[in-house]
């Protein structure tokens, strides 16, 4: 069903980019098509040089995303998943279906983010350092976790996609360095 790997990533400005601004529909049937879609999304991450990809970004308005932060972390980095402390390498790539963020906590941290749907663009985004989450895997098993660091940031970024948001909606706006109109010197054409 998803023979085209890597999948085409929907970019802002594409004819079908409106999917990026719509709330994704919950997954109601955990079957081979969902497993196939998640596998195709995982296979799309590496050549795209990404660490997260939401279903709307590949043209499917479904509440699911994949995250693989392994290239961004150390071998000993851990997270809490289903009540146990586990190495992040053992849970990534992570498939999150019908995810929820049940609690945001820790400091609010500014960090530069990018997005596969906005190639080449980057901006500083304020996000909580840690999140408590719930999600389902491809088999319909429910999981809970507490994520921090880059895993937390990536989960929040991808979760935003499912609500029809892009990171640019949260970007840290810099104060303008333009001279106010009242102080501009008037010039006349010669």
CA dihedral 72, 77, 80, 85 (to 10 degrees): 150
Q: Which of 25, 134, 158, 172 is catalytic?
A: 158
- pTM of structure: 0.88
112 is catalytic: no
Other beta carbons within 10 Å of 179: 9
CB atoms < 10 A from the CB of 149, how many?
19
Domain 17-173 CATH superfamily: Peptide deformylase (3.90.45.10)
Q: Alpha-carbon distance 107 to 115, whole Å?
A: 23
d(CA 14, CA 156): 24
Q: Which tokens in the block code for residue 19?
A: 């999917």
Q: Which of 80, 66, 60 is nearest to 155 (CA)?
A: 66
The residue among 73, 152, 137 whose CA lies nearest residue 99 is 137
Domain ranges across the chain: 17-173
Could you list the pLDDT tens digit for every one of the 190 residues in the chain? Answer: 555 578 999 999 999 999 999 999 999 999 999 999 999 999 999 999 999 999 999 999 999 999 999 999 887 799 999 999 999 999 999 999 999 999 999 999 999 999 999 999 999 999 999 999 999 999 999 999 999 999 999 999 999 999 999 999 998 665 434 444 444 444 334 4
């Amino acid at each position: 069903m998803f023979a085209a790997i890597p999948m085409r990533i929907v970019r802002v400005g594409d004819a079908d980019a409106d999917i990026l601004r719509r709330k994704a529909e919950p997954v109601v049937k955990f079957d081979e098509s969902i497993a196939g879609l998640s596998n195709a999304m995982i296979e799309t991450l590496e050549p795209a040089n990404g660490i997260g990809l939401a279903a709307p970004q590949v043209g499917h308005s479904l509440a699911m995303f994949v995250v693989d932060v392994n290239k961004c972390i150390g071998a000993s980095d851990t997270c809490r998943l289903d009540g146990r402390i586990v190495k992040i390498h053992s849970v990534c790539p992570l498939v999150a279906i019908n995810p929820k963020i049940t609690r945001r906590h820790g400091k609010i941290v500014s960090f530069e983010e990018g997005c596969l749907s906005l190639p080449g663009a980057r901006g500083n985004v304020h996000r909580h350092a840690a999140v408590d989450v719930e999600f389902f895997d491809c088999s319909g098993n429910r999981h809970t976790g507490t994520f921090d660091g880059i895993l937390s940031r990536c989960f929040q970024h991808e979760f935003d996609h499912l609500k029809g948001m892009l990171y640019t909606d949260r970007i840290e706006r810099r104060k303008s360095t333009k001279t106010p109109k009242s102080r501009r010197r008037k010039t006349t054409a010669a």
